[in-house]
Structure 1
Amino acid sequence: RGHWTADRGRVACDHSRRRTRSTPTAAGSTMRPPYRRLSLLATALLVATALPSSTAARWPDAGDRASAVVTLFAAGVTTAAIAAAEGCTVRRVQQIVAEAGMQPPALPLHPQFEAVVQYEMLRHGPNYGFNMLLGALLSHWPSWRWPRERVVAEMRRVDPVAYEARRQWATRRIQRGVYFAPHFFYSLHIDLACKIQEYHVYCAAAQDGCTRAIIGLTALSDKMPITVYEQFFEPIARVHGLPDQVVTDKGNEWRLLAFACFLAARLAQRLGGRLPHRFTSSQHNVSAAASLST
């Protein structure tokens, strides 16, 4: 369990003999002896008393680093540049600046504010709103301040049509729109529910846009275009006639139905005006979706 060396004598190699001796308990388990727990408590107390609450004690080089950070920050250097120069994180630089009671200096306005904003607007086009335009300004002109009020005023002055179109588009997305259907069968909304398609059951529903009446509700075994047309749409057309416009989502199961609507409109010489069939997204075809959910 050991070997001899010429200068150190016998060296023990069995690490199991170095383990702390344990004290058996009544339940048969072991626990640390009391002197071991006392030594750990004494060590913790010594460490706690040896470390003061100052910044210089928490960080070995905090004194020199804090003075350098404060000096550079007062000279107008950014926190990212200070962190790269001092070899620390940006968060640490911000902590030192906050402890020193310093505030970041206010950036000046660009002397050609209107010209720069107009240049960025023309470079990026009318699709850029305020947030994206501000990101472009901060990316290409980081040493200047770009207040929201003046940027928005300049956007309204340079391209008022694009600004109002973007504002109205956002308003339409936030506020509830107005649904227009003056008479019966002005619009017929059709959709499929495929929640139980594992059992080969597809529920098809049709709802009138004006009266909100459920015109058709049929269970189908598949959603092939010929099945949807013959078993679902054709019985509705035989009873109520063809609607002015059929609204569906962009699924392939509606291709034959759309062809029949356009063919009937052509044979009836109904040219111009509204399309006999309109594909839209599932989110916009809310009438049929609501009827299926209820």
Structure 2
Amino acid sequence: MLNAIRLICGFALDGLFGDPQGEWHPVILIGKIINGLERLFFPKKRNFKREFIMGFVLVILIAGGIGILYYFLGRWLRQYFLLGFWVLEIYLIFSFTAYRTLMTRVNNVKLALEQDNIETARQDLKHLVGRDTEHFSEKEIVRAGIESLAESFSDGILAPLFYTALFGALGGLVYKISNTLDSMLGYKSSRYYFFGFASARFDDLMNIIPSRLSVVLIGISAMILGKFWKGVFQYSLRDARKHPSPNAGWPESALAGALGVQLGGANYYGGKREEYPFLGEPLLELNPTRIDEALIVIRFSTYVGVLVCSLFSIIIWLL
């Protein structure tokens, strides 16, 4: 029960103020630890087998070490300084969700397009995607914005809430560790292909349930809003597994179905073309109005997600 209250308080702070910035942000600190351990563990002389093993050691050490330290810190604070425990838990939950920041950034892209300022829209989109945006047309900008919104809803909003509901801020902390490890080391580049394998798979594992839960939440919201809610489930089941990511295809297919649009296609990363499967059906045109509709669907989905995760937390407390 109390964990549900902390979850709601943390999310409310995020909704009011957005992501707290600064060098003391928990994710920034996690990133610094990852950087330090990468320099320590990455073999001085290239050895693929050793890189593969040390990648697993790094994941276990960071996730297990930080998780255990926070577990005992939380127990101590709960026993001797209860107010401090509440403040720390709520601050961490506040730091781990990215609702307001995500919505603001996607909305900025939409506003730039509505003002026919496509260059500003391309620049704003760089805050959301890793692909090349320099020559994007309006349609490509809309598609990229909706895809990023869908995926970020799953791994930037719902997943931290889900693990917080199950295990308190400790759950959200371990999830953000997995997410940060993947964003820093989970690349299929020559340096990280073996060393980052464990980081990428750890993040994939942590997102299995939230990504599929996102389909249900988007479906419920689409039904409430009078969108194509049947398409949410139809296209998710049909198209999600086509995506090269084991998780990203689920929220993207669901949002494509809710809006009646088709996502996917060619993307460029560092000038290199990559083909992604098509998700959904092109019932409606990809234009700035679709971004506005996507924001409304994700806003409702987030509120439903907070309610569902709070209920999860209460049920666990009752058990």
What TM-score comes out, normalization by structure 1 length?
Answer: 0.18
Asked which structure has the greater CA Rg, the reply is: 1
Higher relative contact order (CA 8 A, sep 6+): 2
Normalised to the residue count of structure 2, the TM-score between the two structures is 0.17
Determine which structure has the larger strand proportion and give its number.
Answer: 1
